[in-house]
A and B are shown apart, each in its own frame.
Chain A
């Protein structure tokens, strides 16, 4: 029987691979909710992700790597043909940023001159929230049936990141060489600008599988490769009143997001 079929198809229909219909039971429009997670492996390699995390009760901080970033994606899309479609992705991501290991402190010396000095600091990682918006093209190899099955995605998106304001734990090296949190309450407000948003451009390539579990619902999972670039290169050094200057934050956010080159996504797709 098998050979019969193989013979038939080799004989009759080998070149006729074009299909008129696509979609999950004909449904071509879909909405999707994904969780995206990644382990910033590149940061580990560069040790740049080393930062302090709150551990246990009290103010104790321990030096740790950033193990896990995550986010959510909401996608709406439509397949135009069985091999190609478009989608729009809205994302909300959570990541963190290692705080600087020292802060600059300006003081007036005994002769009346303004001086700057560095003070070693242990500061809890900053939480960073990123919202993103990305139009994507989805495509499959010959014979696909979008949105079902294996597909490739290419996207170019915009992102905006912000450091979240909350009471971070920190410790400052005191005169006796010990880290304490006693005397720095005065500058904590100015360590970073929580109002500043840091914009960037994201280029995405992803491959994804959508496996139907009902006539409308699919599980989707895949791997995303993102290249995050900042879109604002204007230096603000010198004009910055914050201990953790905006330009440094911008660069660190860019580096951090760049380290999230590879991420995994898992979610549900509902076909309409």
Chain B
């Protein structure tokens, strides 16, 4: 019976890991399974464990510096909101590591593999035995063997303790003048060693040698999108919109990467040198097998697609909308009906419009000098579009998606936000748009051109100056047709859509009202304006708050210009507790999402925390742009789970600096009558003010997708429990108050 149960359990596990992802309803990578200790243990306890093991030949002080640095840096990453565990990619990579180390169970037992949501093509290992793989790397590779070589390389780094060796090298070579060059050379040596060691594992695992060289190609071209396919100029064309080919580049942009680039200051040798070194090494291994995969092609493609879908979300979070759009185009070829891609596309266009509205779209599109490969066409077009052109094309795309998926809540929300923001664009006037379609206008233009030749002098004479001006301004006048203003002929059907017009006009009215209020405010006397401003400021934190999700605070306590990690972590713990107790005292219900409680909250809590941090990251991109939350669905789930829309993030920074001017002190010794003042007043006052604490609190509204309010303070105070607690009490007290 037990055997049957174990068989069923194994079967289910295999089934779950090999299940195909539903890309039509794709959800961003989430951690799965039991939360590993790496995420639940405090950093201090990890540090203490490392120090207790006495793993190196370094002195106790040196070990403390090394392990403190590495443990805190890794934990910062683990809790950055970017790392996931137990997901499709991590499991896939873990199984490859299983194969690579099938003959070394001891080493295997020391390693854990996690995924970082990043479009950088990278993998790295830590001296604690964690190997990180980025979604960017997974999205770029073309077979399992390539990932196997990368992982084998990282295992080799770990096995040979390269982090420790490099630390030791830095200690011994801290005074060299040409330290950077020497460090670069040293680092390159370690990379060659890791390639060599990795090759041994890779070969023993039965993967084919040719894929090693392909891996280097992957790395060389990894700065490009995950594929390089010609972007069709008619991509945005529909029965209503026509983007002329003149909006696209007339030439192809060459790919500039070369194998033999200058690596003199790089940590890694250039691709040519690495290939040559591996080439020499390859022959030392006999019995090469030829496999490019052991886990199955379908599985590989599934995992890679997960990474590629993830790359669209990452591009959106990074505000790289040009790249996001090209990635969507690439993925749509295989997943034309993916609702996820449609949602992402709607988000991209909304964001493009929002950034263009604030004249910030250049940040979101590649520079002309950076254009390479087929994706250049998308960046070129987006760069060439005027504000009106971008707005109209974006409106067209979002409107069409909304028409196509009227039941989709996310697309509907994007569309509503689009129309609302559209009403704030003063240059967008619906009366400027033609009811004709592009081709109709073009045909009329050609016809009109032919008619002009037989136009008589009488026609000109019969019309007045004003008629002629009006005619020149009329977009429907065939003679005014201009292909660069193709967008004027792209929303004729929207002008006839009463629902769109109604919604747009209603938003326009709200805008008008706001502007009138603003104008009236300007007309008030200075004292009246001051009064209103004071009231607004007083209302700033008054939200009538009853409950809130609180993500654990972050504390940075500095000691002599460097971060005191241990003290910071300790204060974080205290601060976290004081937030909860202060809120409780005021009857504000707090739902903590805290890294310290992850062992009880588990994976669900961890995923929620990641989602909230991503939202914060997204909001922080720009001050004057209210972006649409990329994880709309996940945020909605959080809202529903907790029954509140509000989330609090907080940050405290503390340092001590008396900032005494010793020149002034020395000066007053010479001008001795001032000495009593210096000794009795200046120095004590400086010492009293030497504590500097900065506290920032920000409240996000998950429903509106905005930073609702925030407060920043500076106090000359230490970060003791009740200093923090008292301030948090006051903040909660304000948040709890109803607006005046």
Interface residues of A (CB under 8 A from B): 1-2, 4-5, 7-14, 16-26, 41-42, 82, 143-145, 148-150, 207, 209, 211-215, 222-223, 225, 261-262
Question: Does B447 sit within 8 A of A, measured CB to CB?
Answer: no
Contact B681 A225 (CB under 8 A): yes
CB distance from A6 to the nearest CB of B (A): 8
Per the bound structure, the CA–CA distance linking A27 and B316 in Å amounts to 46
Given A18-B537, A149-B717, are A4 and B730 also a contact pair (CB < 8 Å)? Answer: no
B622 and chain A: residue at smallest CB distance: A11
B residues in contact with A25, CB < 8 Å: 582, 585, 722, 725-726, 729
| In the complex, chain B residues 697-735 whose Cβ is within 8 Å of any chain A Cβ | 698, 707, 709-718, 720, 722-723, 725-727, 729-731, 733-734
B residues in contact with A215, CB < 8 Å: 722, 725-726
Per the bound structure, the CA–CA distance linking A9 and B710 in Å amounts to 8
Contact A143 B715 (CB under 8 A): yes
Contact B717 A211 (CB under 8 A): yes
B700 and chain A: residue at smallest CB distance: A8
Contact B537 A21 (CB under 8 A): no
Per the bound structure, the CA–CA distance linking A7 and B649 in Å amounts to 13
Return 28 A-B CB contacts under 8 Å, by A number.
A1-B554, A2-B554, A4-B616, A8-B616, A8-B696, A9-B696, A11-B623, A12-B623, A12-B707, A13-B710, A16-B711, A17-B712, A18-B538, A19-B730, A20-B542, A20-B734, A21-B734, A25-B582, A25-B729, A143-B715, A148-B717, A149-B717, A211-B723, A212-B726, A213-B722, A215-B725, A222-B688, A223-B684
| In the complex, chain B residues 665-681 whose Cβ is within 8 Å of any chain A Cβ | 676, 680-681
CB distance from A263 to the nearest CB of B (A): 10
Using A8-B619, A18-B538, A148-B717 as known contacts, list a sample of 11 further A-B pairs with CB atoms less than 8 Å apart, ordered by residue number in A.
Answer: A1-B554, A9-B696, A13-B709, A17-B712, A20-B734, A25-B729, A148-B723, A150-B715, A211-B718, A223-B685, A261-B680
Per the bound structure, the CA–CA distance linking A145 and B733 in Å amounts to 13
Contact A22 B688 (CB under 8 A): no
Most buried by A among B582, B620, B720: B620
A residues in contact with B731, CB < 8 Å: 19, 21
CB distance from A126 to the nearest CB of B (A): 27
Per the bound structure, the CA–CA distance linking A160 and B130 in Å amounts to 74
Given A1-B554, A211-B723, are A26 and B651 also a contact pair (CB < 8 Å)? Answer: no
Per the bound structure, the CA–CA distance linking A215 and B720 in Å amounts to 12
A262 and chain B: residue at smallest CB distance: B680
A residues in contact with B649, CB < 8 Å: 5
Contact A8 B707 (CB under 8 A): yes
Per the bound structure, the CA–CA distance linking A190 and B689 in Å amounts to 51
Q: Which of B541, B617, B684, B727 contacts A145 (CB 8 A)?
A: B727
Q: Which of B537, B556, B698 contacts A8 (CB 8 A)?
A: B698
Q: Which of B681, B684, B716 contacts A150 (CB 8 A)?
A: B716
Per the bound structure, the CA–CA distance linking A116 and B237 in Å amounts to 121
Q: Which of A9, A16, A42 contacts B540 (CB 8 A)?
A: A16
Contact B715 A20 (CB under 8 A): no
B residues in contact with A144, CB < 8 Å: 715
Q: Which of B710, B722, B734 contacts A12 (CB 8 A)?
A: B710
B residues in contact with A20, CB < 8 Å: 538, 541-542, 733-734, 737
Given A12-B623, A24-B726, A212-B722, are A5 and B734 also a contact pair (CB < 8 Å)? Answer: no
A residues in contact with B681, CB < 8 Å: 223, 225
Per the bound structure, the CA–CA distance linking A150 and B734 in Å amounts to 22
| In the complex, chain B residues 481-537 whose Cβ is within 8 Å of any chain A Cβ | 534, 537
User: Chain A binding site: helix, strand, loop or mixed by DSSP?
Assistant: mixed
Per the bound structure, the CA–CA distance linking A41 and B619 in Å amounts to 58
Per the bound structure, the CA–CA distance linking A225 and B542 in Å amounts to 40
Contact A212 B720 (CB under 8 A): yes
A residues in contact with B734, CB < 8 Å: 19-21
Q: Which of A4, A5, A149, A223 contacts B715 (CB 8 A)?
A: A149
Per the bound structure, the CA–CA distance linking A125 and B507 in Å amounts to 86
Q: Which of A8, A12, A19 contacts B541 (CB 8 A)?
A: A19
B81 and chain A: residue at smallest CB distance: A1
Top 6 A-B residue pairs of the complex, sorted by shortest distance between their CB atoms: A11-B623, A212-B722, A21-B730, A5-B651, A13-B710, A18-B537
B617 and chain A: residue at smallest CB distance: A4
A residues in contact with B729, CB < 8 Å: 21, 25-26
Contact A23 B688 (CB under 8 A): no
Per the bound structure, the CA–CA distance linking A143 and B537 in Å amounts to 13
Per the bound structure, the CA–CA distance linking A212 and B534 in Å amounts to 30
Produce 1/0 per residue, B63-84, CB < 8 A to A. 0000000000000100010000
A residues in contact with B689, CB < 8 Å: 150
A residues in contact with B540, CB < 8 Å: 16, 18
A209 and chain B: residue at smallest CB distance: B688
Most buried by A among B538, B582, B717: B717
B residues in contact with A17, CB < 8 Å: 711-713
B717 and chain A: residue at smallest CB distance: A149
Per the bound structure, the CA–CA distance linking A213 and B718 in Å amounts to 12
A residues in contact with B168, CB < 8 Å: none
CB distance from B542 to the nearest CB of A (A): 7
Question: Does B127 sit within 8 A of A, measured CB to CB?
Answer: no
B residues in contact with A209, CB < 8 Å: 688, 716-717
Contact A211 B720 (CB under 8 A): yes
A residues in contact with B737, CB < 8 Å: 20
Q: Which of B534, B554, B619, B712 contacts A13 (CB 8 A)?
A: B712
Given A26-B733, A148-B726, A211-B718, are A2 and B620 also a contact pair (CB < 8 Å)? Answer: no
Per the bound structure, the CA–CA distance linking A17 and B697 in Å amounts to 12
A residues in contact with B714, CB < 8 Å: 143
Per the bound structure, the CA–CA distance linking A82 and B727 in Å amounts to 11
B684 and chain A: residue at smallest CB distance: A223
Per the bound structure, the CA–CA distance linking A25 and B620 in Å amounts to 31
Contact B727 A8 (CB under 8 A): no
B residues in contact with A26, CB < 8 Å: 729-730, 733
Per the bound structure, the CA–CA distance linking A41 and B554 in Å amounts to 46
Per the bound structure, the CA–CA distance linking A46 and B300 in Å amounts to 91
Per the bound structure, the CA–CA distance linking A24 and B696 in Å amounts to 19
CB distance from A17 to the nearest CB of B (A): 7
